[in-house]
């Protein structure tokens, strides 16, 4: 089977870089990256600078357009579909025409993935999302992830998932994300695991267990999906755990403990004697101190209820002897979540540099140094995934692909 990839919501190319680092012949046939409302498409430009652009089967270029306007049938064939898509409300509604059945909310990008799978039928898929996907929405926990699994089931796929803290598997950032691995039920791989019991797949024999080893669990919780997405929207709720699998509409899940690996520490990625523009000025030091400190603030809700908003302190500066905290798109701005470090050369307090942000995500130095402003470099890294986690999965998938027809 050809080792070809289609990368949706590609950002600056984390999935592609991760697979190319596996150095086993993966080829990306098409990608899509478009930022709604952005005057300059910085991420797309960065991607193209590194990898070049990708025509569709008609020789046309639509990689920097709204994916909802792209003809999914014109996307080149691929073995593997990948993408990191936003966590949104995945509920569905009856369409205006009853002949069309149900439709997802406009702008919700999962449905573009679903349509691509339906059109191109890739053998395998790997998706990334924030870990709260498993629990959303708050009033009907697990519904949104259940809808995704139900879509995959209806399309003839089985799936595994794992919540991964990248630092627990050797990376430089304590970033928790859920990864979803789906495989078509008529693949050789599906046939090879269909007789394996669910617990062994979660513990040791499944794709996620081989990519990210865990301490063994002794049982799993079970559930059943609903076939009708409208019914799922109204009634489905399930307590999805940090690991699990779905096949034939059945859910098997439990929380797992990783086999810990030594992480890269924040101190290991820091540059020394950086440009003075990154240092915190005396004028702003009191504001930073306030934002990072513990707070108790009296507030009134929209309904008139009085309550106390409280939050604990954040290390100020961030400790060198731990991996970095989760990096957000707001990194480098004056806010509570931004990393503040003591420069190894000067000892002065400062924010991270773009290169340090790239290192937190496992990219090459200056990956985003393609003409985009520093603020956008941080934004792109805050949206990115931890590249070494992708390479781990690529190496396991290599062993699966070799057996396919």
Q: Are residues 168 and 96 in the same domain?
A: yes
Q: Considering its fold, how many domains does the chain have in total? A: 2
Q: Would you write out the chain's pLDDT as a tens digit for each of its 405 residues?
A: 899 999 999 999 999 999 999 999 999 999 999 999 999 999 999 999 999 999 999 999 999 999 999 999 999 999 999 999 877 666 665 444 433 444 556 557 899 999 999 999 999 999 999 999 999 988 999 999 999 999 999 999 999 999 999 999 999 999 999 999 999 999 999 999 999 999 999 999 999 999 999 999 999 999 999 988 889 999 999 999 999 999 999 999 999 999 999 999 999 999 999 999 999 999 999 999 999 999 998 988 888 888 888 999 999 999 999 999 999 999 999 999 999 999 999 999 999 999 999 999 999 999 999 899 999 999 999 999 999 999 999 999 999 999 998
Give the helix ranges, DSSP H, for 274-386: 282-292, 354-360, 374-383
Q: Are residues 379 and 390 in the same domain?
A: no
CA distance 328 to 244: 27
CATH number of the domain enclosing 61: 3.40.50.150
Q: Are residues 296 and 153 in the same domain?
A: no
Q: Are residues 287 and 172 in the same domain?
A: no
Q: Are residues 200 and 96 in the same domain?
A: yes
Q: Are residues 143 and 55 in the same domain?
A: yes
- Phi and psi, residue 363, nearest 5°: -85, 165
How far apart, in Å, are the Cα atoms of 247 and each of 122, 160, 184, 273? 17, 9, 10, 54
Strands 92-94 and 102-104: antiparallel
Decide if 343 contacts 379 (C-beta within 8 A).
no
- The pLDDT score that the predictor gives to residue 105 is 60
Q: Are residues 43 and 162 in the same domain?
A: yes
- The pLDDT score that the predictor gives to residue 97 is 43
Residues in Cβ contact with 175 at an 8 Å cutoff, skipping those fewer than 6 apart: 165, 166, 167, 326, 327, 386
Candidates 187, 186, 217; CA nearest to 201 is 217
295 alpha carbon, distance to own chain's centre: 31
Angle between helices 374-383 and 42-51 (to 10 degrees): 80
Q: Are residues 249 and 123 in the same domain?
A: yes
Decide if 226 contacts 236 (C-beta within 8 A).
yes
Decide if 349 contacts 279 (C-beta within 8 A).
yes
| Cα-based angle 291, 362, 203 (whole degrees, multiple of 5) | 100
Active-site annotation holder among 46, 87, 151, 220: 87
| Cα-based angle 377, 265, 23 (whole degrees, multiple of 5) | 65
CA distance 34 to 40: 10
Q: Are residues 48 and 111 in the same domain?
A: yes
Residues in Cβ contact with 282 at an 8 Å cutoff, skipping those fewer than 6 apart: none
Q: Are residues 305 and 317 in the same domain?
A: yes
- Residue 330, SS3 per DSSP: coil
Residue 36: give the domain boundaries.
Answer: 4-261+386-401
**251 DSSP β-pair partners:** 223, 246
- Count Cβ atoms within 10 A of the Cβ of residue 115 and give its class: 0-12 exposed, 13-18 middle, 19 or more buried: middle
CA distance 348 to 281: 10
How far apart, in Å, are the Cα atoms of 213 and each of 168, 205, 237, 256, 370? 11, 10, 28, 10, 37
Candidates 238, 123, 245; CA nearest to 179 is 245
- The pLDDT score that the predictor gives to residue 304 is 87
Structure tokens at 149: 């699994």
Q: Are residues 274 and 168 in the same domain?
A: no
Q: How many residues does the chain have?
A: 405
In the annotation, is 6 catalytic? Answer: no
Residues in Cβ contact with 307 at an 8 Å cutoff, skipping those fewer than 6 apart: 298, 299, 300, 301
Candidates 64, 59, 17, 18; CA nearest to 45 is 64
- The pLDDT score that the predictor gives to residue 106 is 52
Decide if 351 contacts 405 (C-beta within 8 A).
no
Q: Are residues 351 and 373 in the same domain?
A: yes
- The pLDDT score that the predictor gives to residue 104 is 54
CA distance 9 to 170: 25
CA distance 103 to 53: 31
- The pLDDT score that the predictor gives to residue 94 is 47
CATH number of the domain enclosing 328: 3.90.120.10
| pTM check: above 0.85 | yes
């Amino acid at each position: 089977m050809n080792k070809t990839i289609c990368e949706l919501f590609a950002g600056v190319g984390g999935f592609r870089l991760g697979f190319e680092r596996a150095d086993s012949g993966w080829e990306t046939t098409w990608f899509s990256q478009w930022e709604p409302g952005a005057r300059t498409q910085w991420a797309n430009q960065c991607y193209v600078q590194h990898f070049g652009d990708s025509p569709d089967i008609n020789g046309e270029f639509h990689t920097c357009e709204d994916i909802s306007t792209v003809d999914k049938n014109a996307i080149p064939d691929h073995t593997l579909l990948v993408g990191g898509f936003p966590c949104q409300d995945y509920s569905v509604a009856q369409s205006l025409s009853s002949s069309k059945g149900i439709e997802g909310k406009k702008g919700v990008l999962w449905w573009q993935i679903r349509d691509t799978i339906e059109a191109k039928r890739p053998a395998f898929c790997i998706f990334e999302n924030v870990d709260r996907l498993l629990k959303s929405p708050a009033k009907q926990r697990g519904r949104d992830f259940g809808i995704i699994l139900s879509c995959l089931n209806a399309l003839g796929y089985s799936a595994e998932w794992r919540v991964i803290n990248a630092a627990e598997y050797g990376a430089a950032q304590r970033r928790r994300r859920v990864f979803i691995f789906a495989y078509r039920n008529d693949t050789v791989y599906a046939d090879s695991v269909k007789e394996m019991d669910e617990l062994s797949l979660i513990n040791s024999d499944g794709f996620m267990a081989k990519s990210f080893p865990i301490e063994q669990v002794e049982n799993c919780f079970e559930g059943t999906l609903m076939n009708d997405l409208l019914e799922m929207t109204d009634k489905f709720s399930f307590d999805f755990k940090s690991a699990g699998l779905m096949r034939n509409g059945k859910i098997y899940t439990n929380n797992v403990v990783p086999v810990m690996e030594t992480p890269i520490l924040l101190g290991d990625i820091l540059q020394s004697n950086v440009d003075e523009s990154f240092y915190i000025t005396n004028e702003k030091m009191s504001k930073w101190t306030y934002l990072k400190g513990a707070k108790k603030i009296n507030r009134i809700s929209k309904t008139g209820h009085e309550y106390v908003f409280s939050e604990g302190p954040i290390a100020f500066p961030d400790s060198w002897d731990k991996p970095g905290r989760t990096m957000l798109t707001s990194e480098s701005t004056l806010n509570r979540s931004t990393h503040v470090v003591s420069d190894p050369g000067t000892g002065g307090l400062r924010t991270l540099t773009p290169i340090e942000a790239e290192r937190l995500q496992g990219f090459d130095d200056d990956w985003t140094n393609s003409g985009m402003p520093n603020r956008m470099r941080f934004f792109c890294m805050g949206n990115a995934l931890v590249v070494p986690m992708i390479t781990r999965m690529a190496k396991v998938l290599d062993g699966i692909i070799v057996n396919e027809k």
